Structure 1
Amino acid sequence: MDKLRQLVLLVRPDTLMRWHCDLLRRRRAAATAARGPGRPRTVRSIRALVLRLARENPSWGYRRIHGEPAALGIRIAATVWGILKEHGVAPSPQRSHTGRADFLRDQADALLACDFF
């Protein structure tokens, strides 16, 4: 009976545990390599929506632009800041800033419109 037990144990238990740990390590590495690092890319249509919201509403900041699609149930994977920066769109104070000449021109148009009434 002792001879039979010696023949069955061809591999030591610590070797078997090392093989098991190696197998688990390789499985985890394969799972993360297939998926890729970081967040998934945002769909093109959602990127276009973010850019359109920024263009049409120059006084809106990043949080407001992110909140509007979120209220509709649209999830944005990337940050709005990253999307706007990638496309060269400035932050909201720089987009909505009107210069002195623009301000005076708008006021003059309003005054002229009032004079005709």
Structure 2
Amino acid sequence: MKRRHAQTSRRRRPGRPRTVASVRRLVLRLADENSSWGYRRIHGELALFGVTIAPSTVWEILTAAGVDPAPHRATVTWAEFLRSQAEVVLAMDFVETVTLTRRTPVHPRRCPPCR
């Protein structure tokens, strides 16, 4: 009885327990598949899945794994985005738009609606 009580009251590791490995893998998978998501968005998605974890824990998992913050992980840089938008704007400038206007008939006396 004495040994059993000694084992249960023995000090464990200091601090919070480690995050479950499956949750760590899920955080890293979400970050890998969605490069534009930051740690807060990943935290929100995990909450939708029913996983209770703090946003700071998600940030720590990403930092420990060497994953850059979301803006640095995005596949499209700001300069590339601006270039692609400029190409679209220039392409649209050459499109002819037809506006509907009411035209007066050439021969008002012969036009049936004008009689």
Matched residue count? 88
Deviation at 1:99, TM superposition (A): 5.7
- Residue aligned with 2:67, SS: coil
What root-mean-square deviation, in Å, do the aligned CA atoms of Structure 1 and Structure 2 show?
Answer: 3.4
Q: Which protein is richer in helix relative to its size? A: 1
Choose from 50, 62, 77 the match for 1:98: 77
TM-score (norm 2): 0.55
TM-score (norm 1): 0.54
**Which position in structure 2 is the counterpart of 1:80?**
58
The whole-number CA distance in structure 2 between the counterparts of 1:43 and 1:49 is: 10
Deviation at 1:104, TM superposition (A): 7.9
The whole-number CA distance in structure 1 between the counterparts of 2:9 and 2:68 is: 38
Give deviations 1:40-86, integer Å, cap 9, x for gaps: 11111111110111111111111111121122211237701111111
After the TM superposition, list the runs of 4 or more consecutive aligned residues in structure 1 that deviate by more than 6 angstroms: 104-107
Identity %: 60
Structure 1, gaps ≥5 residues long = 1-26, 111-117
